[in-house]
Amino acid sequence: MPKFDFRLTKGYFCDTDFIIRHFFVFVLNGLQNLYYFCTMISCRKRNLKQDINLSYKGIMLWKMKYLTERQTMIVLSFFVGIFCGLASVILKNTVHYTYTLITNLSWFSKSTANFLFLAYPMIGITLTVLVIRYFIKDDLSHGVSKVLYAISKRKGRMKRHHCYSSMLTSSLTVAFGGSVGLEAPIVLTGSAIASNIGSFFRMNYKCMLTLLGCGAAGAIAGVFKAPIAGILFVFEVLMLDLTMTTAIPLLISAISSAMISYFFLGQDVEFFYKITTPFELSKIIPFMILGMVAAVASIYFLKINKWVSKIFKRLSQWQKLIVGGTVLGVLVFLFPPLFGEGYTALTNLLANDTETLLQNSFFFNYRSNEWLLLGVLFAIIVLKAFATSVTLSSGGVGGTFAPSLFIGGFVGFLVARIINLTGIVSVAESNFALVGMAAVMSGVMHAPLTATFLIAEITGGYALFAPLMIATTMSYLVVKPIAKYSIYTESLAKQGALTTHDKNRSALQFIDKRKLMEYNFVKLYPDEKLRDIVKAVEMSSRNFFPVVTKDNTFLGIVVLDDVRHLLFKPEFYNKYKVTDFMRYSPHFIADVNDSMEVIINKFKGSDRYTIIITDNGKFVGALTRANVFAAYQRYMQDISEE
């Protein structure tokens, strides 16, 4: 029986008879289902919406009857991993084939500058902006930050369009030369898929967070075929607790996504490299130097990103598009390795093929000049950070995952080449490129473990494990005091919307104050007498009474201890007014829209056990310290429960 190659880029061979047989079964089943559907609609024997609702209720009842929460999570995590793997395969191949199509239109040879590179980035960003403005109609920038925001502010729930919108727009941006990566859009897509699956099955908050982590882990595992790195990404970047309850679903999602990616894309990754030169302990100092240089490169990348973003905020959307597209086109025209993700350039660098880096550029005829090569490598490092920031600020969609790996690879190679030129010691330039990738990624993302295991997994072993740990740790330790937040968390931290990195703030964020408030108070009015206070004491079990006007405006409180000595002295009932005993202090008053963090600070700043809650000055109720503490304890128990 003849066989043919049934794979998207590189993968397994499939038997023709097997495919044809299952294809016809699929088609016949589809036609049969279509017939039943059309019959149902034409005969109007059933209401489609009611039928869907009944089916949904049946699924939920079956789940509640036969599956525990943990079993449900295992099943859902498997399907999340499958969907994430498919999403990564689709996105990678879409970008690959689009890039192949548009670059084959070039009429220039490899030794001549390609003027189409001037136009491609503008076309890609324009298409992206149009899709977002007229079709998506939502902000799609910073995919990982969107996931962090969903965890911090939306109880793990994400919009449905995130399941496809970031894939569509990022493929347009990157395929036409946008100097960003696809990993952040994949993470956003995977997390959105997981979130909507969790919402469909009405999973609780703890399960929703775990599913979001499964989506992110599956996305990273699917792109790089690195399950451990995917899990560590969730732990370090998303800051989800790694317990036995969460570890198993994360592992299932990561493995299933990686297997899907293996099936369609084969064994290799885009810059797969087999280490041939082992690490020598005598060369530890050069790797320490690399860690320091990578830290400087990381800080530069973070600073440039903030600076460019600040400049572009002053421009209108169309000004951003024109300026950004033009600048990016010129950069890509001068330095073609800046085109797209840059993994092809990294692959050439790992193979020590510096000649290919200069193809389609003005520098190709000077490829044998060693000093010119060093200058070009340095220029690419400096301009890559700028090109990435311009792409994102002008309206493109993508991430900084790939650019940090790109810059790190070029930094490592440049450092190794300079060390070799000195003649003091000889080092493996490819090994330095790999370690540099991890070191810069560690500094930019504040994720040394993820960076270490990512490079270890894509190189097929742990031969460089020691220098990877040294360089990533040094880079992280140098960058962290200077840049407190990673590139994903800084904007959220400034908005006060980052609670994933602070468990106490996270707990307070999801405590519903309205459910904890107490409302059964007997109110007093300012013109009432002591006699009315006595009646209020008889009617209430409280030790204080709010004083309000006729329109419920809060004026203060009367404390029982202040009038206790007069309760059994009728001669004073008409002598004293409510205002004679009224207390008022802003320290025990909070607005209903204030965050729980503000209310907790009021508890800390006074000796009171109750805070009065108002709504634009109107009395609403009171919040007690005991109720808040009990809710906090319940929350922490729920998210920590094994």
Burial of 107 (0-12, 13-18, 19+ CB in 10 A): exposed
The per-residue pLDDT for range 264-278, each reduced to its tens digit, is 877 655 556 667 677
Residue 581 vs residue 142, higher pLDDT? 581
Q: How are beta strands 544-548 and 582-583 bridged, if at all?
A: unpaired
Choose the most confident range, by mean pLDDT, from 117-121, 472-476, 592-596. Answer: 472-476
**Are residues 443 and 295 in contact, defined by beta-carbon separation less than 8 angstroms?**
yes
Phi, psi of 386 (to 5 degrees): -65, -45
Query: Residue 507 contacts by C-beta under 8 Å, 6 or more apart in sequence?
Result: 632, 635, 636, 639
**Are residues 271 and 433 in contact, defined by beta-carbon separation less than 8 angstroms?**
no
Three-state secondary-structure class, residue 112: coil
Three-state secondary-structure class, residue 265: helix
Residue 617 vs residue 61, higher pLDDT? 617
Choose the most confident range, by mean pLDDT, from 280-289, 357-366, 523-532. Answer: 523-532
pLDDT at res. 7: 36
**Are residues 164 and 185 in contact, defined by beta-carbon separation less than 8 angstroms?**
no
**Are residues 425 and 211 in contact, defined by beta-carbon separation less than 8 angstroms?**
no
Q: Which residues pair with 14 in a beta bridge?
A: 4
Hey, where are the domains in the chain?
A: 1-46, 54-265, 281-500, 506-640
pLDDT at res. 149: 81
CATH classification for the domain delimited by 506-640, as one of 3.20.20.450, 3.10.580.10, 3.40.630.10, 3.40.50.720:
3.10.580.10
Choose the most confident range, by mean pLDDT, from 403-412, 454-463, 518-527. Answer: 403-412
Q: Please report, as a single letter, which amino acid is at residue 565.
A: H
Three-state secondary-structure class, residue 286: helix
**Tokens standing for 133?**
């403005």
pLDDT at res. 10: 39
**Tokens standing for 588?**
């025990």
pLDDT at res. 409: 93
Phi, psi of 555 (to 5 degrees): -115, -35
Residue 606 pLDDT class (50, 70, 90 cuts): low
| pLDDT of 519 strictly over 80 | yes
Residue 426 pLDDT class (50, 70, 90 cuts): confident
Give the distance between the most distant pair of CA atoms in the chain: 111
pLDDT at res. 108: 44
**Tokens standing for 293?**
């240089």
Q: Residues 457-480: what's their mean pLDDT?
A: 87
CA angle (300, 303, 306) in 5-degree steps: 150
Q: Residues 211-217: what's their mean pLDDT?
A: 92
| pLDDT of 453 strictly over 70 | yes
The per-residue pLDDT for range 27-64, each reduced to its tens digit, is 555 555 555 555 555 554 455 566 566 666 777 777 77
Query: Residue 563 contacts by C-beta under 8 Å, 6 or more apart in sequence?
Result: 530, 533, 537, 581
Two domains, one topology: 281-500 and 506-640: no
Cβ atoms within 10 Å of 459's Cβ, excluding its own: 22
| pLDDT of 501 strictly over 60 | no
| pLDDT of 193 strictly over 90 | yes
Residue 603 vs residue 452, higher pLDDT? 452
Per mean pLDDT, which range of 9-13, 341-345, 439-443 is the poorest? 9-13
Per residue, the 3-state secondary structure of 555-596, as one string, reads EEEEEHHHHHHHCCCHHHCCCCEHHHCEECCHHHEEECCCCH
| pLDDT of 122 strictly over 80 | yes
Q: Residues 125-129: what's their mean pLDDT?
A: 91
**Are residues 407 and 429 in contact, defined by beta-carbon separation less than 8 angstroms?**
no
Query: Residue 172 contacts by C-beta under 8 Å, 6 or more apart in sequence?
Result: 124, 127, 128, 131, 397
pLDDT at res. 236: 86
The per-residue pLDDT for range 236-264, each reduced to its tens digit, is 888 776 666 778 999 999 999 999 988 88
Q: Which of 315, 309, 310, 320 is nearest to 394 (CA)?
A: 320
| pLDDT of 567 strictly over 90 | no
**Are residues 216 and 234 in contact, defined by beta-carbon separation less than 8 angstroms?**
yes
Mean pLDDT of the chain: 81
pLDDT at res. 16: 45
Phi, psi of 208 (to 5 degrees): -65, -40
Q: Where are the beta strands (DSSP E) in 44-115?
A: none
Q: Residues 349-366: what's their mean pLDDT?
A: 76
Q: Residues 228-237: what's their mean pLDDT?
A: 89
Alpha-helix runs per DSSP H in 343-446: 343-350, 354-357, 370-393, 401-422, 429-445
Q: Please report, as a single letter, which amino acid is at residue 456.
A: A
CA angle (458, 462, 468) in 5-degree steps: 85
3-state helix, strand, coil in the chain (%, to 5): 65, 5, 25
Q: Give the Å distances, CA to CA, from 391 to 183, 382, 434, 640.
A: 15, 15, 25, 40
- What fold, for 281-500? Clc chloride channel (1.10.3080)
**Cα-trace Rg, the chain:** 31
Q: Residues 168-192: what's their mean pLDDT?
A: 90
Q: Which of 397, 400, 492 is nearest to 135 (CA)?
A: 397
Q: Which residues pair with 548 in a beta bridge?
A: 554
**Tokens standing for 235?**
């732990």
| pLDDT of 500 strictly over 70 | no
Q: Which residues pair with 515 in a beta bridge?
A: none
**Are residues 169 and 397 in contact, defined by beta-carbon separation less than 8 angstroms?**
yes
**Are residues 406 and 433 in contact, defined by beta-carbon separation less than 8 angstroms?**
no
**Per-residue b/e over 333-356, b at no fewer than 16 CB within 10 Å?**
bbbbbbbbbbbbbbbbbbeeebeb
Phi, psi of 71 (to 5 degrees): -65, -40
- What is the distance between the terminal CA atoms of the chain, rounded to a whole angstrom? 53
Q: Which of 500, 415, 463 is nearest to 151 (CA)?
A: 500
Half-sphere exposure of 171 (CA within 13 A, CB side): 20
- What fold, for 54-265? Clc chloride channel (1.10.3080)
Q: How far apart are CA 228 and CA 75, in angstroms?
A: 20
Q: Which residues pair with 612 in a beta bridge?
A: 589, 622
Give the dihedral of Cα atoms 557, 561, 566, 572; nearest 10 deg: -20
Q: Please report, as a single letter, which amino acid is at residue 77.
A: S
Q: Which of 546, 522, 525, 526 is nearest to 614 (CA)?
A: 546
